[in-house]
Amino acid sequence: MEYHAPRSLTEVTDLLANAGGRAKLMAGGTDLLAQVNKSGHWPAVLVDVKHVPELTALRWLSGGEWSIGAAVTGARLRDSVEFAGAWPGIAEAMGLLGATQTQNRATVGGNICNASPAADLVPTLVAARATCRLVGADSERCVPIEEVIIAPGKTCLRADEVLVEIRLPARAASAADAYLRATPRARMDIAIASAAVNLALDSAGRVSECHVALGGVFPVPVMASSAARTLTGWSSEDDSDTMARFKRQVSAACRPIDDARSTAEYRNEVIGVLAARAARLAWSRAAG
Amino acid sequence: MKHQLQFRVNGSTAILRCDSRDTLLNILRDGLGLTGTKDSCSAGSCGACNVLLNGDLVSACLVLAVEAQGGNIETIEGITADDRVQSVQNRLVESGAVQCGACMPGMVMSIKALLDATDSPSSAQVREALSGNLCRCTGYDVIVEAVKAAGVSQ
């Protein structure tokens, strides 16, 4: 196996273009090396992208947007007070991924490009309306994150493309997000179902904008748009009718399966509970 | 592809050749004979191979040896230099927190990473810091109690 640790984005795209589909990108390696250790199948060319400045920058832009380099580690995101203030749900998803030794290496771009249906970070980024900047040897495009992950383990990236940064839109004054998941163990486990809610409130404390994304209940992390619309005009102080309707619509957006970790029936039930709790949590953060 | 590697390990310079496919865990154990770092799950799930790379706790099974080029590595064999970690180790032994012992080097490295980052960690912080270490013998409580009894936490 050839190992390369380029220092610039041009070197990365040149390496990918020259490798003709035989190269794998690695950032933290927490998914890739675990898979290789198990399978024994090494890529012909490995391109380690964690020394490329564009991929390691974490920036709060003047317009209020955030730019997260694809190779920013979970620990950096989790520990940034400014970031966690703006996007507490994304920060808490990162704090739930593996444990300290995982978060010190695992990266935001890696969690996206590994394309697991149960990736902790992805539902929070979908709910945040994140876009991904993909750069190839002669191309550049920005793609909404829900279009990047197309199937379990598969992304829309061409063999010559690299995910460079993730952009998050600017926040309204009263806005917040939250992420909750169900796992048999509290830590070092993969979510059997997870829900991210991102909402903004008007001056009366009612939901003016809401996005809901679910993990572990569909072949890819999925938006629950009709459920999210149900919460328009909702306040956490309202009676529970809206919330009951919201839970039903969240379950309707799912297509869960039975597997070693849980059953479709349980996933269908618990996802509504998680989404409802995440909505209340996001509301109280936005109101506070 | 072969690489000439140089890094610091437990305060000494190590120079060796490795293959691109070698993990940091392989070369610590097989290249340098530092077998205190345990090879258990090879998937980053158990914490038994935890070491510090440039001050950060990492699973040595999920780091390539070439990624350690020029770096500073601390393993369980180098832990004697740290008085606070030593007192935790003593308490782990005295209180019977160690049974089969396979998880212990990784546990101690997680505790070191915690104490390096936090002066007087709370009980919750101790539990969080050890949440990535599997122990199949003790049930964890006695390990957490031993860390608290060593007087390094609140």
* Yes or no, beta carbons of B58 and A105 under 8 Å apart: yes
Q: Which of B3, B20, B63 sits opposite A29 (nearest CB)?
A: B63
Q: Which has the closest alpha carbon to A74: A24, A134, A23, A114? A: A114
Q: How far is the alpha carbon of A102 from chain B, nearest alpha carbon, in Å? A: 7
Q: Quick one: pLDDT at residue B152?
A: 79
Q: Which of A:166-195 have CB within 8 Å of B?
A: 186-188
Q: Which of A:231-250 have CB within 8 Å of B?
A: none
Q: Quick one: pLDDT at residue A185?
A: 87
Q: Measured between alpha carbons, how far is B116 from B118 in angstroms, rounded to an integer?
A: 6
Q: How far is the alpha carbon of B87 from chain A, nearest alpha carbon, in Å? A: 22
Q: Measured between alpha carbons, how far is A12 from A6 in angstroms, rounded to an integer?
A: 6
Interface of B with A (CB under 8 A): 1, 3, 19-21, 23, 42-45, 47, 50, 56-59, 61-64, 66-67, 110, 113, 128-129, 131-134
* Yes or no, beta carbons of B1 and A38 under 8 Å apart: no
Contact A113, A133 (CB under 8 A): no
> Which residues on A lie below 8 Å from B58 (Cβ)?
101, 104-105
Q: Quick one: pLDDT at residue B150?
A: 85
For range A135-153, the mean pLDDT: 97
Q: Quick one: pLDDT at residue A243?
A: 96
Q: Quick one: pLDDT at residue B23?
A: 98
Give pLDDT tens digits for A155-180: 999 999 999 999 999 998 899 999 99
pLDDT band, very low/low/confident/very high, at A36 (cuts 50, 70, 90): very high
* B139 Cβ neighbours under 8 A, 6+ residues apart: none
Contact A182, A270 (CB under 8 A): yes
Q: How far is the alpha carbon of B99 from chain A, nearest alpha carbon, in Å? A: 22
For range A57-72, the mean pLDDT: 97
> Which residues on B lie below 8 Å from A116 (Cβ)?
none
Q: Quick one: pLDDT at residue B109?
A: 97
Q: How far is the alpha carbon of A256 from chain B, nearest alpha carbon, in Å? A: 25
**Strand order, beta sheet including B56-59:** B12-19, B2-9, B72-74, B50-53, B56-59
Contact B132, A98 (CB under 8 A): yes
Across chain A, mean pLDDT equals 96
The answer to whether A136 faces chain B, any CB pair under 8 Å, is no
Q: Quick one: pLDDT at residue B139?
A: 82
* DSSP conformation letters of B64-114: BGGGGTT-EEE-GGGGGG-HHHHHHHHHHHHTT--SS-TTHHHHHHHHHHH
pLDDT band, very low/low/confident/very high, at A186 (cuts 50, 70, 90): confident
* DSSP conformation letters of A230-245: HTTT--TTS-SHHHHH
The answer to whether A7 faces chain B, any CB pair under 8 Å, is no
With 90 as the cut, is the pLDDT of residue A285 above it? yes
> Which residues on A lie below 8 Å from B45 (Cβ)?
34, 188
> Which residues on A lie below 8 Å from B108 (Cβ)?
none
Q: What percent of chain A has pLDDT over 70?
A: 100
With 90 as the cut, is the pLDDT of residue A240 above it? no
DSSP count for chain A of H helices, then E strands: 13, 14
Q: Quick one: pLDDT at residue A17?
A: 96
Q: Which of A1, A38, A187 sits opposite B132 (nearest CB)?
A: A187
Q: Quick one: pLDDT at residue B29?
A: 98
- pTM of the predicted model as reported, rounded to 2 decimal places: 0.96
Q: Which of B1, B43, B58 sits opposite A34 (nearest CB)?
A: B43
Q: Which of A:85-124 have CB within 8 Å of B?
A: 98-102, 104-105
Q: What percent of chain A has pLDDT over 90?
A: 95
Q: Quick one: pLDDT at residue B105?
A: 97
Q: Which has the closest alpha carbon to A180: A245, A87, A96, A67? A: A96
b/e A211-231 (16+ beta carbons within 10 angstroms → b)? bbbbbbbbebbbbbeebbebb
Mutate to test the interface with B, among A101, A105, A183 (most CBs of B within 10 A): A101
Alpha helices in chain A (DSSP H): 9-19, 32-39, 53-56, 74-79, 81-86, 88-96, 100-103, 108-113, 121-127, 145-148, 225-230, 241-252, 264-287
> Which residues on B lie below 8 Å from A98 (Cβ)?
44, 132
Mean pLDDT per 10-residue interval, chain B, length 154 residues: 97 97 98 98 96 98 98 95 90 93 96 93 93 91 89 76
Q: Measured between alpha carbons, how far is B82 from B79 in angstroms, rounded to an integer?
A: 6
The answer to whether A22 faces chain B, any CB pair under 8 Å, is no
- In one-letter notation, the amino acid at residue A53 is P
Q: Which of B20, B45, B110 sits opposite A100 (nearest CB)?
A: B110
ipTM of this complex prediction, to 2 decimal places: 0.96
Q: Quick one: pLDDT at residue B85?
A: 93
Give pLDDT tens digits for A244-259: 999 999 999 999 999 9
Q: Quick one: pLDDT at residue B82?
A: 86
The answer to whether A160 faces chain B, any CB pair under 8 Å, is no
